[in-house]
Each structure stands twice: as C-alpha cells, then as structure tokens.
C-alpha cells in the first residue's frame, strides 16, 4: 500500500463545526476503508494546519478519490504528498542508479 501524508486546514465552515471534528475524522476513515485504504494516524495540530493525517491506499487514484470526497463536503482543504518508507526509498535509489 502507498502512504500519503495530508496537511489539513479547516475552511470557515469547518471551523464553525469544530465540535464534531472527531466524528468527521471517523467518517473519513470509514469512507477510505470502503475504497480499500485505511487511516494510519490523525493528529489535531496548532499552527498553519489544523490536522495532519497519514493514510494508506492501494494506489494514487484511491487516495485522490478519498481526498476529493473529504474536500467536497466543504469542511477542509488538503495539501497531500506521497510518503516513502526506508525500504521503498532503497528500491527507488536502486532503480535510479540503473
């Protein structure tokens, strides 16, 4: 499974509904599971982003679909990036070296 890290910011709508943030996170996890992925971690943060979420998905398309679903509700905006484990990075370096 591919790992993705998302930096999440609440929209005005999302911050007005802060009371149900943990329920929204659980709903995202359930939606991702229906698509074949899973949430590894969710952290609420102080600073330029409101949450940091780490997920696993079978492929880029599944991760993108889940992020579109969560963003489409209107409570958050995300900045997401693919993350690689040490083992995955070793394979990438080997491939790059030819």
Q: Dihedral of CA 64/66/67/68: which sign? A: positive
pLDDT digits (tens, 9 = 90+) for 48-93: 999 999 999 999 999 999 999 999 999 999 999 999 999 999 999 9
CATH code for position 79: 3.30.70.920
The confidence score (pLDDT) of residue 40 equals 97
Find the domain containing 61 and state its range: 2-97
pTM of the model: 0.90
Per the structure, how many domains does the chain have?
A: 1
Q: What percent of the chain has pLDDT over 70?
A: 100
The confidence score (pLDDT) of residue 98 equals 85
Task: Report the alpha-carbon distance of residue 87 to residue 37 in Å, rounded.
Answer: 20
């Amino acid at each position: 499974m591919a790992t993705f890290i998302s930096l999440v910011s609440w929209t005005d709508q999302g911050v007005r509904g802060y009371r149900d943030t943990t329920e929204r996170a659980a709903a995202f996890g359930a939606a991702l599971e229906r698509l074949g992925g899973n949430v590894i971690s969710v952290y609420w943060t102080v600073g330029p982003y409101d949450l940091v979420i780490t997920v696993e998905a079978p492929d880029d398309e599944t991760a993108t679909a889940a992020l579109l679903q969560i963003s489409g509700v209107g409570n958050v905006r995300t900045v997401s990036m693919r993350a690689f484990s040490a083992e995955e990075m070793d394979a990438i370096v080997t491939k790059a070296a030819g």
